[in-house]
Copies of this chain bind each other. A is one copy, B any other.
Amino acid sequence: MQRKWKLDGTAVDMVPASLIVWKPLHMKSASRMLIASLHSLPTEEVMICGWVYRLRELARTTFIIVRDCSGEVQCVASSTAIQAVSLKLDEPVEIKGKVRPDTRAKAGFEVEVFEISVLNRVTQILPFNSSSNIAEIGIDTILNHRPLSLRNQSIGDIFKIQAAILDYFRFFLKERYFTEIFTSKIVSSGTEGGTNLFEIKYFERCAYLAQSPQFYKEYGVAGLERVFETGHVYRAEPHASSRHLTEYYSLDLEMGFIDSPQELIQLERELLNFIFERLNQDYGEILKRYREKLLPQMLNVPVWEFDECLRLLNQHFGRSDLVDDLDPEAERQLCQLAESETGIPALFVIGFPLIGRPFYTHPRGNGGAAQSFDLLFEGIELTTGGQRLHKREDLEQALRNRSIDPVSFETHLRMFELGMPTHGGLAIGLERLTARILHLANVRQATLYPRDRYRIAP
Please give the residue numbers on chain A whose beta carbons come within 8 Å of chain B beta carbons, in ascending order: 1, 16-18, 20, 22-26, 32, 34, 49-51, 68-70, 90-92, 94, 119-120, 122-124, 126, 130, 145-151, 156, 159-160, 162-163, 166-167, 170, 174-177, 179-188, 198-203, 205, 207, 209, 215-216, 219-226, 231-232, 234, 236, 238, 246-247, 249, 256-257, 259-260, 262-263, 265-267, 270, 274, 303, 390-392, 411-412, 414-422, 430, 448-451, 453, 456-458
> For the complex, what is the distance from the CA of A16 to the CA of B174, rounded to whole Å?
12
Q: Is the CB of A418 within 8 A of B259?
A: no
Residues of B within 8 A of A411 (CB): 457-458
A181–B448 contact, CB under 8 A? yes
A-B contact pairs, 25 of them (CB 8 A): A22-B266, A25-B265, A25-B266, A34-B177, A69-B224, A120-B390, A120-B420, A122-B417, A123-B392, A146-B219, A146-B415, A148-B222, A148-B419, A150-B222, A151-B223, A156-B224, A167-B180, A182-B430, A184-B449, A184-B450, A184-B456, A186-B247, A201-B201, A203-B236, A215-B458
Known: A22-B267, A146-B219, A163-B181. 12 other contacts (CB 8 A): A22-B263, A90-B419, A91-B419, A92-B422, A126-B418, A130-B419, A145-B418, A146-B223, A151-B223, A198-B202, A215-B458, A231-B231
Output the least CB separation between A186 and chain B (Å). 5
- Bound-complex Cα distance A204 to B457 (A): 15
Closest residue of chain B to A185 (Cβ to Cβ) is B232
How many angstroms from the CA of A184 to the CA of B198 in the assembled complex?
15
Assess whether B415 is in contact with A219, with CB atoms less than 8 Å apart: no
Residues of B within 8 A of A34 (CB): 177
On whether the beta carbons of A458 and B160 are closer than 8 Å, the reply is: no
A123–B1 Cα distance when bound, in Å, is 54
Cα–Cα, bound, A246→B202 (Å): 10
**How many chain copies?**
2
Contacts A92-B419, A148-B419, A198-B201 given: A451-B186 contact, CB under 8 Å?
yes
Inter-chain contact A262/B186, CB cutoff 8 Å? no
Which listed residue (B266, B412, B419) contacts A151, Cβ 8 A?
B419
Residue on B nearest A207 in the bound complex, by CB: B456
Q: Say whether chain A's binding surface is mostly helix, strand, loop, or mixed.
A: mixed
| Cross-chain contact of A246 among B186, B216, B419 (Cβ < 8 A) | B186
Name the B residues within 8 Å of A145 (CB-CB). 418
Task: State whether A198 and B198 are in contact (beta carbons under 8 Å apart), knowing that A1-B270, A51-B419, A150-B223 are contacts in the complex.
Answer: no
CB atoms of A201 and B203 under 8 A apart: no
Specify which of B17, B20, B180, B184 is in contact with A163 (CB 8 Å cutoff).
Answer: B180
Given A180-B163, A186-B247, A265-B25: A150 and B202 within 8 A (CB)? Answer: no
Chain B residues with Cβ under 8 A from A175's Cβ?
Answer: 16-18
Least Cβ–Cβ distance between A254 and chain B, in angstroms: 12
A26, A149, A234, A448 pick with most chain B CB within 10 angstroms: A448
A263 touches B24 (CB 8 A): yes
CA distance A265 to B22 in the complex (A): 10
Chain B residue numbers with a CB within 8 Å of A124 are 414, 417-418
- Taking a contact as CB atoms under 8 Å apart, the answer to whether A224 and B159 are in contact is yes
Could you say which of A176, A216, A238 has the most chain B C-beta atoms within 10 Å of its C-beta? A176
Are A160 and B185 in contact, with the CB atoms below 8 A? no
B151 near A222: Cβ-Cβ < 8 Å = yes
A1 touches B49 (CB 8 A): no
Identify the closest chain B residue to A124 (Cβ): B417
Query: In the assembly, what is the distance between CA of A220 and CA of B155, in Å?
Result: 12
| CB–CB B177/A69 < 8 A | yes
Q: Determine the distance from Cα of A119 to Cα of B34 in the docked complex, in whole angstroms.
A: 57
Q: Answer whether A187 and B457 are a contact pair too, CB < 8 Å, given A150-B222, A223-B149, A257-B94.
A: yes
A392-B123, A448-B182 known; A257+B22 contact, CB < 8 A: no
Residues of B with C-beta under 8 A to A18: 175-177
B238 touching A203, Cβ below 8 Å: yes
Of all chain B residues, which has the CB nearest A412?
B458
Q: Looking at A120, A184, A200, A419, which has the most chain B CB atoms within 10 Å of its CB? A: A419
